[in-house]
């Protein structure tokens, strides 16, 4: 691996368990928008194993170029150039027609207004019946699923008050307000979850 290629150990650890779920959720050909592509490791792994999909990376404008080394090295024909996408800007016009959306480890880094904006944008961009998969740690009725998640939440909030593990009940209310219904909640390794939302209205 080139020294100048960014690397996330978390992506390396979780990419295969996530792929196993996405393989069953994104069965039909289409375009998948990834929010918060980061290093590009997920994009390359998923697009490489799901050739019937077109993978559309996106990230905050200041982070968009981060994934370029991975994308350039892979040279996969089904990965589109990354889009600079500020979810708060409210302008999703540059996003192509999509059949699904995916985001990993973003909800606890974003400020809550950004999480709201992400749901609003995805709710509008998805076609009826389209799927949004959201991966990461989550709490239930204010309770963490493990001591390690509780410690992680505390460390996030110590770094910046706007960050923190999100609660399923808050996300379900947000989904309802943006036309997204949570249909599945998969238990994933390392006390993470994969939440599957479907545009229902």
- pTM of the complete model beyond 0.75: yes
CA distances from 103 to 29, 59, 81 (A): 19, 10, 17
Residue 192 · residue 165 · CB < 8 Å: no
Q: Are 6 and 69 in contact (CB under 8 A)?
A: yes
Asked if pLDDT for residue 3 goes beyond 80, the answer is: no
Domain membership of residue 172 (yes or no) is yes
Does any domain span residue 151? no
Q: What is the DSSP string of 68-98?
A: HHHHHHH--TTBPPPEE--GGG---TTSPP-
Q: Residue 2 pLDDT > 60, yes or no?
A: no
Closest CA to 69 of 27, 109, 38, 25: 38
78-120 pLDDT, tens digit each: 999 999 999 998 779 999 999 999 999 999 999 999 999 999 9
Assign 177 a pLDDT band (cuts: 50, 70, 90). very high
Res 4: pLDDT: 79
Residue 159 lies in a domain: no
In a domain, 158, yes or no: no
117-170 pLDDT, tens per residue? Answer: 999 999 999 999 999 999 999 999 999 999 999 999 999 999 999 999 999 999
Q: Please state the rounded mean pLDDT for residues 35-54.
A: 98
User: Which CATH number covers residue 56?
Assistant: 3.40.50.150
Report yes or no on 189 lying in a domain. Answer: yes
Q: Are 134 and 115 in contact (CB under 8 A)?
A: no
Q: Contact, 46 vs 114, CB < 8 A?
A: no
Q: What is the predicted pLDDT for the residue at 1?
A: 46
Quick check: is 160 in a domain? no
Domain that holds residue 175: 9-82+95-104+114-138+166-199
Give the three-class secondary structure for 164.
Answer: coil
Domain count within the chain: 1
Residue 171 lies in a domain: yes
Is residue 118 in a domain? Answer: yes
Contacts of 88 (CB under 8 A, 6+ apart): 113, 114, 117
Percent of the chain predicted with pLDDT > 90: 96
Cβ burial, residue 201 (10 Å; 0-12/13-18/19+) = exposed
What integer is the mean pLDDT of 171-191?
A: 97
Task: Measure the CA dihedral 44/47/51/54, to 10°.
Answer: -130
Selection from 95, 87, 37 nearest residue 66 by Cα: 37
- Section 71-75 average pLDDT: 97
Beta bridge partners of 132: 101, 197
């Amino acid at each position: 691996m080139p020294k100048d290629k960014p690397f996330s150990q978390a992506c390396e650890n979780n990419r295969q368990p996530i792929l196993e779920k996405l393989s069953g959720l994104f069965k039909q050909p289409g375009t998948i928008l990834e929010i918060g592509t980061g290093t590009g490791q997920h994009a390359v792994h998923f697009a490489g194993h799901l050739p019937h999909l077109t993978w559309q990376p996106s990230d905050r404008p200041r982070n968009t170029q981060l994934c370029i080394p991975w994308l350039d090295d892979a040279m996969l024909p089904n990965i589109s150039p990354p889009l600079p996408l500020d979810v708060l800007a409210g302008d999703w016009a540059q996003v192509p027609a999509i059949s699904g959306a995916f985001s990993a480890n973003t909800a606890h880094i974003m400020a809550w207004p950004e999480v709201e904006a992400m749901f609003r944008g995805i709710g509008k961009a998805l076609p009826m019946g389209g799927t949004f998969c959201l991966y990461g740690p989550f709490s239930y009725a204010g309770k963490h699923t493990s001591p390690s998640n509780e410690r992680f939440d505390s460390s996030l909030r110590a770094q910046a008050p706007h960050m923190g593990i999100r609660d399923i009940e808050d996300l379900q209310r947000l989904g309802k307000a943006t036309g997204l219904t949570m249909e599945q909640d998969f238990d994933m390794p390392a006390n993470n979850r994969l939440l599957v939302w479907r545009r229902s209205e």
